[in-house]
Structure 1
Amino acid sequence: MTNIKLLSASLELIENDFFNSLAVSVVIWKNDEHYTIETISKNINKILGFSQKNFMNKKTIYSNLIHPDDLKRVLNEVKNNVNEKKLEFTHEPYRIMNSKGFYKWIKIDVTIIYEKGNVSHFIGYLSDCTSEKEILLEKELEKSKLSTIIHSLPDLLWIKDKNGKYLACNKRFEDFYGAKESQIIGKVDEDFVNKELAEFFREHDLKAMQSNIPLSNYEELTFSSDGHTEYSHTIKTKVVLIDGSIYGVLGISRDISDIKEYQNKILEQKEEFETIFNFSKDGIAIVDLESNFLNCNNSYCEMLEYSKEELLTKSCIELTISEDKEKSIKTLKKIIEDSFIINFEKRCLTKNNNIIYVNMSVSLLPDKKRILMVTKNVSDVKFIEEQSKLISMGEMIGNIAHQWRQPLSVISTASTGILFQKEYGVLDDKILIDSMNSINNSAQYLSKTIDDFRNFIKNDKTEELTSVKDAFDFAIHLTEASLKNNYINIIVDYEDDIIIHAIKNELIQCFINIINNAKDALIENTKEGNRYIIVSIKKVKDALELSIKDSAGGISEDIIERIFEPYFTTKHQSLGTGLGLSIVNKILRDKYHANILVYNEDFTFNNFKYYGACFKITFNKEVL
């Protein structure tokens, strides 16, 4: 059919009612500057909503309906096909506005009409492809999303065919081989890594393709992009087509370097714990919630004189002496509730029926089913404490004697004076009453002194909220008479205070020991009139600092570091045992977590310079 006949046939087709009932519309354009529509089929209104007349009377201009982003492309497609002398071509689908102002996608098959070698008309067969285009766009969007997800994955991802050739990979895999996906596709591992590693990869590929489940392995991967190495967990699974044939293998590799490092740290900590557990001098044991032994170290066995096999058949409560069992059971319940307890003391019975004193720090393990116990044999310390108590009793008797000397003197003087005046007949009622009041006041003072010392000496081990300042004041009260009788002045400067959980009398005894140590040094080394003990309490950040210094000339640098050692003393053997400061150090550090330092320093008081020892005790603030 010639071009002219085709044009005539198209014109007849446009007027055909059957054709106009179809979903394909015919448009004939002139090949002029504006591509004027010569005619258009009536069924154009089914596609665009505009009538045939709208286009024929030029109320509606076809080119004005084309989406601005598509118009240039459409015109270029026409020009290119004309220049190539083509007879037919199909436009890429483009968007065109309908009568309601919405864009639809259309597809146009175009026939070019030539007359005497020149293009005279274009015949377009136009159909609505909006649904097909939207489905295609949706698929492309999903494909784009999937591609974005794959390339954004922090894991390496790749697909190989069954011969080991790469079919696809993501951005992370590009970093691994230091090449773009386009450079990797179609190649094999040996094109990028050494033969040994390539064979390793291939071996696992083959295993995965032969397996019905995904397979995994661990490997170190060195990235060509920057040379860094990652410890990776790789999972491979075969890819199977619809017909059941093997297409290839899919691989995913995740960097688990942090997990590996964490596992190594856990392993190191486990080894450290086992070393501590096995070689610690302290007894370490793990028990269940009923105190049955589950594990223990050699030190624990040696302490209780049992073999490990024997000890694992017993419970911690079972080895406690009967007098301490009730408090041990209560403490066990407290540990389960509060997760830990420190410095718990009790007595245990060894295999050979020896009673030992133990100090325990106990923690509930994270699984909430086991308890860790660190136990020290403190029998020797208890012996030292008993000796220290006897020494303290002797010092207390000395302090009582000093406290009583003045009131006894008053009573003696008053009673002797009454007898003397009675004998000479000069005793009147006023003198008698004054003397009796003086004797009564002195007796009341003696009674109060007895009560104070009795309250201090009694073995009350109850912890209570205790003021550090009040405890030190009471220590001064108990030693004040002894200090005065030895011409020792004690100066106090309290700026602040702190409340701690403490056994009050135990804390007072610590302070008395330090005061007595200063007193003995002052009597031995300093003349009367220059004997001073300076006490200050002040807040330093969240801690309380208690400073006790004397003017006794200081402690020799040769021995100052040893003064807290048990049995170390600078006094004559008949005067000291070396237990006082050792006990002070142990109680303050172990029970009250205080820090105690001793050093020598110069200081000025009342415009005079002095030199002496300073004991500095730091109490950390407790949350009450």
Structure 2
Amino acid sequence: EKYPDVTRRFYEATLKGWAYAFAHIPETAKLIRRKYNTQHKSLQALIYEGETLKKLALLPDVPFGKIDNVRLREIENSYRLLGFGQFKKNDFDDMIYSGNKADAERLVIERKWIVLMAMMLLFVIGLLILNWYLSLRENRLLQSSLERFELLIESTIEGILIFDEEGVCLRANSVAGTLFRYRQEAMRGVAVTALLCPESVEIVKRRMQVPNQEPYETKLRRRDGTCFTAIVRGRDMVWENQKIRVSTVIDISEMKALQKKLQSLNENLETKVAEQVEDIRQRDQMLLHQSKLASMGEMIGAIAHQWRQPLNALNINIQNLDDDYAEGLIDADFIDRFIAKNREIITYMSKTIDDFRNFFRIDKTKESFSIKEAIETTMALQHAQLLKRDITLSVEGEDIFVTGYRHEFLQVLLNLINKAVDQLHKKWVQNPKITIRLKEDALILEDNAGGIDPKIIDRIFEPYFTTKAQGEGTGLGLYIAKVIIEKNLGGRLEARNNIRGALFEITFPKEAIIYLKQRAAPALES
């Protein structure tokens, strides 16, 4: 009543403002969202609130802006029910704009409109308060969710990056910052193309069009321009009404380097293995050759022993020719006997050479042979040496037929017999004896020389190990014997002591044994 004109103009301006707002709700909502959106509501939410207020304000059969005591009391009761406080004054006449008293009816209507607008304003304020409370609660929940989200992405070993629809990084975890050599906060705003090597740009762009992209391998670029190989996976999501792309990155550059190195090693492995095998084979052949040379030296000594007596006999026969001629004993019959006798001696010597040559012949293929026959051949070559040193060599048991390299087996027998002969002669054993016993799948050679020193028995099969003085032995005999039996024949050669002396046992593999000669074989003795 004190300022009727001001009140009337305010009232009219208020009605015009609300009328314009209700007529242009989308425009008003955009203005509020741009300048007054302290609660961060979406445009859709603001438009919805405007439409709701419009329905409440524009009632049928009621002029826009009309208000009276009855409607104010209804609004008051509604606010009381909502718990927004108590109104001490129940008469709202003073609050209703009346204007000029001369026009009482118009003032009453205007007053009622003012009260209605006031109540609508209170209602809007109430809605705003309620919305503020709900928004506050929502913000707290959102903040808690963001904190859990941050904890989650920071607890992984993968680099995690979140891009908007334009491919601009919105957020990245610390692992991603380390991978790309950015400070974590500096990752925001970086375009995805800045993180790609040139050859990967088109590939990654195509992959980012796939909503749920399975892991794939690509080249990524660090801030300093260097590239690294990574496994990348991407997935489209919606966050706060905005489409985003969540990408995970795992650096596999070290793994790729190891894989490349392993591939190179695998490519060269076969060649290196073949080279090593060939090297070992050549060394074994060299050792075998050295052993054969040593055995040849021993055999030449054995041949010398066996030739000494025949040569002496030939010499005596030739020397006696003069006396026989002087005594008139030489006639046709004498000449025939002389030739036959000396031819027999020469044939024996020639056979010794043949045995020597065959003994060291190199086997090319496996053959079936008799173990007893091999022993007899070796005994024949060693006969003179055994006879000279008065050593008895006997063979017991049934014959065994095996498949293998016969002449290599002869060399093994020769080495074992020579070792026994050396020990018997070295220790001046009374009644020296070597015994060879044949079992179903084994050959046992033993002597009575007292055995092998326990300190060295574990080393006797090592290459170049010898107890002889320098220049007297090569240390290869037993080593080559073990190689022949275990590698070439597939059997086993072992050494141990018994109560009489040393014992060497050759065990033949089952697949190499053809059959046992089922007969009681008499013992061979030399």
Higher share in helix: 2
Q: TM-score normalized by structure 2?
A: 0.44
| Larger RCO (CA under 8 A, 6+ residues apart) | 2
Q: Which structure has the bigger radius of gyration? A: 2
Higher share in strand: 1
